[in-house]
Amino acid sequence: MIFDSGVGGLSVHKDIAALLPNIDVIYMYDNAGYPYGELEPNVLVERVVKCVDVVNQQYGVDAVVIACNSASTIALPSLRERFSFPIIGVVPALKPANLIAKQGITLLATPGTVSRAYTRELIEQFVDSVPVQLIGTTELVNMAEKKLRGGQLDQQLLRQIVEPIKSHSDVVVLGCTHFPLLEDELSAMLGEQVTFVDSGEAIARRVVEVLKLSDSVVGEGSKKCHTILSSAPEPNSEALERYLSKLNFSAIQHCPLKGA
């Protein structure tokens, strides 16, 4: 199971499906609670636990990827206490960024992620050679959601957000799973001199480890049709459904959370 508050986790799904094309994937997004960055921590934890519980009861899962940085930093302890199967969180890819950065690193994430002590500790632990700039934005999250639904992006706003990167960094860490969905637009504004890194491939490798899959199944087999669930009905979803179809997802199914 892959979980997010919105469609951002589809960027993680891409890497998991590329590495493991023959496994069954259930993608659940809590659009009734979106955006998670504005929820109180106790409310966020309650919603994430309910979403995982509903999917597990209906389908049964072997592992869960919490493809949301806000949920990963807050809800993992409660999830691991409640469920016995492996729970995989998302960590900004600062360690690989440090290996390739020559000028500087920008961590592009949500305001909640850049303000947490956990993020500062990651920087102190893994970045030792270049300065790190933190940019927190919710606008890019909304842009990614809008893009997959066929909407036009505000190019002026996007340019304002990325402008501080140009004079500071040659590596950008996409610290929200929504942001790789905008990599083409970001790259067009920042140019080829900027390299983007995210945690998708590392998460996919971790899925292989926790499921104890042999090398023989990695990268082998025909692509399966995946299931996608939303906690609220998805209005005007034609563009999103077309995008999902290209990723081998069936039509979006409404999966309400009782009491949430």
The per-residue pLDDT for range 213-240, each reduced to its tens digit, is 765 556 655 567 899 999 999 887 899 9
Within a domain: 158: yes
**% the chain with pLDDT above 90:** 78
121 and 155 in a single domain? The answer is yes
- Residue 72 assigned as binding residue: no
138 and 60 in a single domain? The answer is no
Task: Look at 78 and 73; give whichever has higher pLDDT.
Answer: 78
- Residue 219 assigned as binding residue: no
Question: Cis peptide before 35, with omega less than 30 degrees from 0?
Answer: yes
Within a domain: 259: no
Beta bridge partners of 29: 4, 230
Beta bridge partners of 132: 105
Quote the CA–CA distance of 217 and 237 in Å, as a whole number.
34
Whether 98 and 130 have beta carbons less than 8 Å apart is answered as: yes
100 and 185 in a single domain? The answer is yes
- Residue 184 assigned as binding residue: no
Quote the CA–CA distance of 197 and 231 in Å, as a whole number.
30
Whole-angstrom CA distances from 208 to 63, 151, 194 are 10, 35, 30
- Residue 13 assigned as binding residue: no
Q: Among this protein's residues, is 225 annotated catalytic?
A: no
Residue 138 has pLDDT above 70, yes or no: yes
Within a domain: 260: no
178 and 227 in a single domain? The answer is no
Q: Mean of the pLDDT values across residues 151-162?
A: 95
pLDDT score, position 260: 59
Distant-in-sequence, close-in-space partners of 144: CB < 8 Å, separation ≥ 6: 6, 7, 8, 178, 179, 181, 182
163 and 231 in a single domain? The answer is no
List the domain range (segments joined by +) for residue 15.
2-90+201-254
- Residue 37 assigned as binding residue: yes
Q: Mean of the pLDDT values across residues 165-181?
A: 96
Quote the CA–CA distance of 228 and 251 in Å, as a whole number.
7
pLDDT score, position 222: 55
pLDDT score, position 38: 77
- Residue 34 assigned as binding residue: no
pLDDT tens-digit readout, 16-56: 999 988 889 999 999 999 988 778 889 999 999 999 999 99
- Residue 8 assigned as binding residue: no
| Assigned token pair, 40 | 């109180």
Helix (H, G, I), strand (E, B) or coil at 8: coil
| Assigned token pair, 46 | 């309650």
Asked whether the whole model's pTM tops 0.85, one would answer: yes
Residue 61 has pLDDT above 70, yes or no: yes
108 and 189 in a single domain? The answer is yes
Q: What is the CATH number of the domain that holds 78?
A: 3.40.50.1860
Q: Give the number of domains in the chain.
A: 2
